[in-house]
Structure 1
Amino acid sequence: MRVLCVDPGEKRIGLAVSDPSGTIARPLTILEHRSREVDAREIVHLAESLGVGLIVVGVPYTWNGTIGPAARRALRLADAIRAVGSITVMTWDESGSSQRAQALLQEMHASRKKRREPLDHRAAAIILQDFLDIQADLKTKPTHKPDTEDDEESQKA
């Protein structure tokens, strides 16, 4: 299933999309923030045109996991996207994604010009890849099944 990731900011909204199998994330585009309703409609329209089955909205929780002003804005955008479209919307902790995108560009020895460009869509790709990797790990984790009746009895207790 193809997944779209939204990295909302005050001025810009970064978007990333997965491949059809939901394995690899890539930066898609950057939208200029207009209003929550306009942004939500544009995101849903783009998601529908790409055949997306899930939209993941990055939420920047504070260092101690609480909801600050930026997280509240992201959660309100997620609600607006849900209200406009029929695609499932999830939220995902995106704390530190912009810093990781900048560090990745430095590791890749990107030019200074490239490093000064907005990172919103690259940060969205990092958030999305984290999400996809966790989902893949959850699918491949074996579940414990008791080998004997004694194991079954001990689990009931």
Structure 2
Amino acid sequence: MSKSSIPDSISQSKYISALGLDVGSKRIGVAGCDRTGLIATGLTTIERTRFEEDVEQLRELINQREVSVLVVGLPYNMDGSLGFQAKHVQKFANRIAKILQLPIEYIDERLTSYQAEQMLISENRSPSRNKGLIDRKAAALILQQWLDARRVNK
């Protein structure tokens, strides 16, 4: 089959490998997607220590998964403005993207941690005992939102 006979939606991208990040001061929730870019799944939670160690843990995941883009949740204020925490996340994410030489895209992450907590509660799990899981689920929600928007905008 020649390339010209492949539908545009397929030929534009063979597969996608994105990493979704829910960046917090104590932990970073990390999510990845299947190669088709349809489903985001929580992968791990990085317990933050030193910046250099955080970068190395992300680098390992990026190399393993052949990641081509970072999708970072930006915690806007409820009025849509960028507050202290959002600016802090941007600074961290921009440093990471520069060091790892990857493009970065931001997604409005308002209420993703709340949604993740509600998912745990519906599974009869304690949010206070599963902070890392909440971070992973929030990262998956962030990445899923980006994947869905990407499909709609094609």
Q: CA RMSD in A?
A: 1.6
Residue 5 of structure 1 is matched in structure 2 by: 20
CA-to-partner distance for each residue in 1:10-48, whole Å, 9 max, x for gaps?
A: 111100000111110000000011234432343233112
1:42 to 42, 45, 57: 57
Runs of 4+ in 1 over 6 A off after TM superposition: none
CA distance in 2: counterparts of 1:131 and 1:112, whole angstroms: 27
Residue 124 of structure 2 is matched in structure 1 by: 111
Residue 146 of structure 2 is matched in structure 1 by: 131
Q: Work out whether residues 37 and 147 of structure 2, in 8 Å CA contact, stay in contact via their aligned partners in 1.
A: yes
TM-score, normalised with respect to structure 2: 0.81
Q: Does 1:29 align with 2:60?
A: no
1:114 Cα offset (Å)? 6.8
Unaligned runs of 5+ residues in structure 2 are 1-15
Count of matched residue positions in the alignment of Structure 1 and Structure 2: 137
Q: Work out whether residues 121 and 127 of structure 2, in 8 Å CA contact, stay in contact via their aligned partners in 1.
A: no
Which is further off, 40-49 or 69-78? 40-49
User: Aligned pair in 2 of structure 1 residues 40, 90: CA closer, same or farther (>3 Å)?
Assistant: farther
State the secondary structure of the residue aligned to 1:66: coil
Q: Work out whether residues 60 and 93 of structure 1, in 8 Å CA contact, stay in contact via their aligned partners in 2.
A: yes
Q: What is the identity percentage for the equivalent residue pairs of Structure 1 and Structure 2?
A: 34
1:55 to 47, 50, 70: 70
CA-to-partner distance for each residue in 1:50-101, whole Å, 9 max, x for gaps?
A: 1111111111010111111210111011111122112221111111100011
Q: Letter of the aligned partner of 2:125 in structure 1?
A: R
Which is further off, 30-39 or 54-63? 30-39
TM-score, normalised with respect to structure 1: 0.80
